[in-house]
Amino acid sequence: MKIVSAVALTAALTALSGVALAAGDAAAGKTLYGGSCASCHGMSAEGQGIFPKLAGHAVDDTLAKLKKYKAGEQVGANTAMMAPMAAGLSDADMANVAAYLATLK
Ligand code: HEC
């Protein structure tokens, strides 16, 4: 009995995380990126100077960093420039922009 319910729970959680991942809308992320991020990170998220390259980063990596910035945690030497940018992002914004960045090379 216990094994059966553990399997059912795992299946339910897998289905849920699938929904969460699908929630990242790369098209919406592209619009957000162009308006709010490209001025520093570059039109193609290729990075420039002190602004890190974001293109091609895994969704989970981008999300983890954005959440740290939003939470006020120090990430790199120039966190003070980036933290205010993340502060205004909703969870959906973060998921969308992370999905978009992962589509870039
Ligand atoms: C005012 C310039 C500026 C803008 C605008 C900006 N960033 Fe940043 N971003 C930075 C800087 C500087 C860093 C490096 C911060 C550090 O040292 O921790 C950074 C770092 C990051 C990182 C971590 C990269 C890594 O690999 O360490 C991510 C992810 C990121 N930015 C995403 C975004 C997103 C998404 C937007 C738009 C919503 C955005 N940034 C807008 C300046 C900016």
CA of 31 to the centre of ligand 1 (A): 16
Whole-number pLDDT of residue 17: 52
Residue nearest to atom 37 of ligand 1 (CA): 37
pLDDT digits (tens, 9 = 90+) for 64-88: 999 999 999 999 999 999 999 999 9
* Under 8 Å between Cβ of 99 and 25: yes
pLDDT digits (tens, 9 = 90+) for 12-23: 545 555 444 456
Q: Does pTM surpass 0.75? A: yes
Judged on CB neighbours under 10 Å (0-12, 13-18, 19+), 25 is middle
Looking at domain 25-103, its CATH architecture is Orthogonal Bundle (1.10)
pLDDT digits (tens, 9 = 90+) for 21-50: 456 999 999 999 999 999 999 999 999 999
Q: Of 104, 92, 102, 71, nearest to 28 (Cα)? A: 92
Whole-number pLDDT of residue 6: 61
Q: Quick count: other Cβ atoms within 10 Å of Cβ 90?
A: 9
Nearest-angstrom CA–CA distance, 101 and 34: 11
Domain spans in the chain, listed from the N-terminal domain onward: 25-103
Q: Quick count: other Cβ atoms within 10 Å of Cβ 73?
A: 11
Residue nearest to atom 27 of ligand 1 (CA): 52
Residue 1: pLDDT band with limits 50, 70, 90: low
Token digits for 69? 């910035």
Q: Of 55, 67, 2, nearest to 29 (Cα)? A: 55
